[in-house]
């Protein structure tokens, strides 16, 4: 497949948890970068002389200017090595945007937006759009599954958003280590169990699932048993690349 790539210049790098790296880019060919909240880009590079690409969800709301991704490192990973070594001013090749994991023209309902790890980035990009939906009668639960508190990327953004907006609730779900003094938004156990604990119903709810394929499969099984139609289940699996 011939990809239509464009250059991206790194304008900022930040460690946003002990392991997750945020990279902020701008297009360096002078063109605007237009996308919908929830979409992803492909990063293209050569490995052992072969062209490869990896996908990364966009973590910031669309505004035509700079945008951010968050990368969780994978041991021995090709893109992990490339992205971890980037410095401000470096240029990489990318293509996109891609994906249909976006907000649609739904009637007011409860959105259950669940993710593991960096899978929460699409929901961060959606925050301004979600703010508008809250004024239209939607309610929103945002659930992030990680091992422990220190890995809860962008948690402050979701906590602030939910503090400021009645109708929005953030749940940080820890599968390995619960803090000694949990805060109101902190839960113990796998994120999919907390999706189930919200008692999702097809009459009132639409569910978005993003990140770890096993989490998504388990949640899908539970939701299908509850007779959710496919159109109310939206997912983005972070499947490892085949090359």
Question: Which residues bind to ligand FAD, rule: CB under 6 A?
Answer: 40, 54-57, 69-72, 74, 76-80, 118, 121, 236, 238-241
Instruction: Walk across the sheet containing 21-27 and list its strands.
Output: 50-57, 40-47, 91-98, 6-15, 21-27, 67-71
- Closest to ligand FAD by CB, 71 vs 219, is 71
Q: How far is the CB of 218 from ligand FAD (least distance, A)?
A: 16
- Closest to ligand FAD by CB, 78 vs 102, is 78
Q: How far is the CB of 135 from ligand FAD (least distance, A)?
A: 28
Q: Which two tokens stand for residue 57?
A: 């969800």
Q: How far is the CB of 131 from ligand FAD (least distance, A)?
A: 22
Q: How far is the CB of 190 from ligand FAD (least distance, A)?
A: 16
- Closest to ligand FAD by CB, 55 vs 110, is 55
- Closest to ligand FAD by CB, 72 vs 232, is 72
What is the number of the residue whose Cβ is closest to ligand FAD? 77
* Cα(24)–Cα(92) distance, integer angstroms: 12
- Closest to ligand FAD by CB, 30 vs 49, is 49
CB 59 within 8 A of CB 123: no
Q: How far is the CB of 243 from ligand FAD (least distance, A)?
A: 8
Query: 169 — alpha (psi -120 to 50), left (phi > 0) or beta?
Result: beta
- Closest to ligand FAD by CB, 150 vs 184, is 150
* Cα(140)–Cα(111) distance, integer angstroms: 5
* Cα(163)–Cα(148) distance, integer angstroms: 22
DSSP string, 75-108: TT-HHHHHHHT--TT-EEEEEEEE-S-S---PPS
Q: What's the chain's length in residues?
A: 243
* Cα(229)–Cα(201) distance, integer angstroms: 10
Q: How far is the CB of 73 from ligand FAD (least distance, A)?
A: 7
């Amino acid at each position: 497949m011939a990809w239509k790539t464009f250059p991206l210049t790194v304008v900022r790098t930040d460690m946003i948890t002990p392991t997750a790296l945020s990279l902020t880019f701008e297009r360096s060919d002078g063109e605007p970068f237009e996308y919908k909240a929830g979409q992803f880009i492909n990063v293209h590079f050569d490995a052992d002389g072969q062209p490869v690409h990896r996908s990364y969800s966009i973590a910031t709301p669309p505004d035509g200017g700079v945008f951010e991704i968050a990368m969780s490192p994978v041991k021995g990973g090709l893109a992990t090595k490339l992205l971890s070594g980037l410095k401000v001013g470096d240029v990489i090749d990318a293509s996109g945007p891609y994906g249909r994991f976006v907000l649609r023209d739904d009637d007011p309902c409860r959105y259950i937006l669940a993710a593991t790890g960096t899978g929460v980035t699409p929901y961060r990009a959606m925050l301004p759009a979600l703010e508008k939906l809250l004024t239209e009668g939607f309610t929103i639960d945002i659930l992030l599954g990680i091992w422990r508190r220190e890995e809860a990327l962008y948690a402050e953004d979701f906590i602030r958003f939910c503090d400021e907006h009645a109708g929005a609730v953030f749940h940080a779900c820890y599968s390995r280590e619960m803090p000694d003094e949990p805060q109101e938004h902190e839960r113990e156990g796998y994120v999919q169990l907390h999706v189930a604990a919200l008692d999702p119903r097809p009459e009132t709810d639409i569910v978005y699932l993003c990140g770890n394929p096993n989490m998504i499969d388990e949640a899908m099984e539970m939701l299908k048993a509850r007779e959710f139609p496919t159109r109310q289940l939206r997912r983005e699996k972070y499947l490892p690349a085949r090359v």
